[in-house]
Amino acid sequence: MADTKREIERKYEATPETRLPDLTRVTGVAAVVDHGIAELDATYYDTSDLRLAAASITLRRRTGGGDAGWHLKLPVAPGVRDEIGAPLSATLPRPLAALVRARTRGAELVPVMRLLSSRGVHHLVDADGTPLAEVSRDAVVAERLTDGDGRTAAWDEIEVELADDQDPAILDRVDKKLTKAGLRPSAAPSKLARALAETGLDIPVSTPVEPVDAGGHLLAYLREQVTALLAYDPGVRRDLPDAVHQTRVATRRLRSAFRSYRKVLDRTVTDPIGEELKWLAGELGVARDQEVLTARLRARIDAVPRPLLLGPVRGRLRIWSTAHGSGARRKAITTLDSRRYLALLDTLEALLADPPLRKAAVRSAAQVFPAELLKDYGRLADRIGHALDLPPGGDRDLAMHDARKAAKRARYAGEAATPALGPAAKRFAKRMKAVQTVLGDHQDSVVARDALRNLAIQSHAAGESAFTWGLLYGQEQRSAADRERELPGVWAEAAQERIRAELTG
């Protein structure tokens, strides 16, 4: 139902007297094609406390022009948004409502602003007539719809939007021409933001406070992770690459911070939240883990010489992957729509608003954080030592998996401390990440071998050759052995006394 386009644009201040310069003098522009005037009528929706606007998200229902319908715009980068459209209807389409559910969480979406725009449209085209960009001149009238206020504002502006599949450099060339002609970039990131400001509606803004103690530094880090959770939610729903992975990373960082910095936050409050974060990561992980494993096995198959590919190997992998991944995406969406997930988001925001700080929170980060990092290091050292003392086999595999989790926790703790402790914590985190990488590659091999064994069994049962699966199993065994030989050296680098000494100054 919904379709998506990447919107890359620049906005400029204008007046009724502003005249566009000759844009055919912009390199690459052969002609400026006049597409006439369009009358646009857009109603913008938000919660009564403007949660969408606070997140730089706009949701509107617009008539007029060539793209009448519902439009949801999600920020990607400054001047770049993803616009997701749906056909015109009387009520908000369910797919768009789902994309903002993590923000609204049951709060009603109501009309907050109406914008009437008289838009003059021009297309910049190259010598072949291919559109490079669209230049729009808008005369805008905004009417506030909340509180029965009816306050209005009016202004003129010019937008330059990149055409599909074109080089953004054209925007720089047009910008140079426009600014030389006296136009100034707009101070407002969107029409809605300007309309809200000029009709007296303040967008809720969280003003960053410079952390002065351990509690402030930890809360700033936690706030970054909660912000990431909310930002990646629409990407998971849209099945965007890496969205699930980044969401799980945010949950792990939150959990690690809760566990590593228990002297700062009351664990009787954070432990239950950590369990909910663990649940969320697990529910979202099915699809991601299967995707990563399939990609690994496919790469292994692609590297096998053709004479050694016996039987329908790629077909068998495809059948296996589909069977194991079936329903995984549906499960992820069901999770994000669940009351449990939305309650978790509420709980996280409540934690940030009223954090359960302990006495250590008012001490300086330099007094508190190093000791916590050294505890995480000690836990990792014990697990590494235990793993290296075991002979190769299943017990060592499990021990290395436990060490991997400890390395990840130590790394995240170091990253959380970096804004406060600086390069010393950054170096600590970097070394912990190196250990985590080796242990993670080893665990990936363990998981891959289990999958290859199952594929061999299925192939044999179907009367197919299991030779190739056995070959790949042997390759994964060698990979695991390589990581086990590599680990002592990587650990020796990470365990240098000076790295820990730097933490305490």
Q: Which of 52-61, 76-85, 114-123, 197-206 has the lowest mean pLDDT?
A: 197-206
Whether the pLDDT of residue 326 is over 70: the answer is no
CB atoms within 10 A of CB 69: 17
pLDDT tens-digit series, residues 257-281: 999 999 999 999 999 999 999 999 9
Q: Would the pLDDT of 491 be above 80?
A: yes
- pLDDT digits 0-9 by tens, 309-324: 999 999 999 999 888 7
In tens, the pLDDT along 354-408 reads 999 999 999 999 999 999 999 999 999 999 999 999 999 999 999 999 999 999 9
Report the pLDDT value the prediction gives residue 222, as an integer from 0 to 100.
97
Smallest CA-to-CA distance from 428 within 371, 482, 483, 484 is with 371
Helices (H) and strands (E) in the chain, counts: 16, 8
Mean per-residue pLDDT over the chain, rounded = 94
DSSP 100-154: THHHHTTPPPEEEEEEEEEEEEEEEE-TT--EEEEEEEEEEEEEE-GGG---EEE
Per-residue model confidence (pLDDT) at position 174: 97
Taking residues 181-186, report their average pLDDT: 94
Whether 327 has a pLDDT exceeding 90, the answer reads no
* pLDDT for 435 beyond 90: yes
- Is residue 288 predicted with pLDDT exceeding 90? no
Contact call for residues 32 and 24 (beta carbons, < 8 A)? yes
pTM for the whole structure = 0.90
| For residue 328, pLDDT beyond 80 | no
Is the pLDDT at 237 greater than 50? The verdict is yes
At 1, the pLDDT band (50, 70, 90 cuts) reads very low
Q: Is the pLDDT of residue 112 over 80?
A: yes
- CB neighbour list of residue 255: distance below 8 Å, 6 or more residues apart: 274, 277, 278
Task: Give the whole-number percent of the chain exceeding pLDDT 70.
Answer: 99
- Is the pLDDT at 494 greater than 90? The verdict is yes
Rounded Cα distance between 113 and 365, Å, is 45
Q: Strand pairing partners for 45?
A: 111
pLDDT of residue 324: 76
* CA-to-CA separations, 475 to 132, 298, 353, 355, 390, in angstroms, rounded: 50, 13, 51, 50, 22
Average pLDDT over residues 79-98: 94
List phi, psi (to 5°) of 301. Answer: -65, -40
**Spatial distance between the Cα atoms of 257 and 7, rounded to a whole number of angstroms:** 36
Alpha-carbon distances, residue 132 vs 128, 163, 181, 233 (angstroms):
11, 5, 20, 32
Residue with more model confidence, 413 or 148: 413
Which of 204-218, 350-364, 482-496 is predicted with the least confidence, judged by mean pLDDT?
204-218
Instruction: Check pLDDT > 80 for residue 148.
Output: no
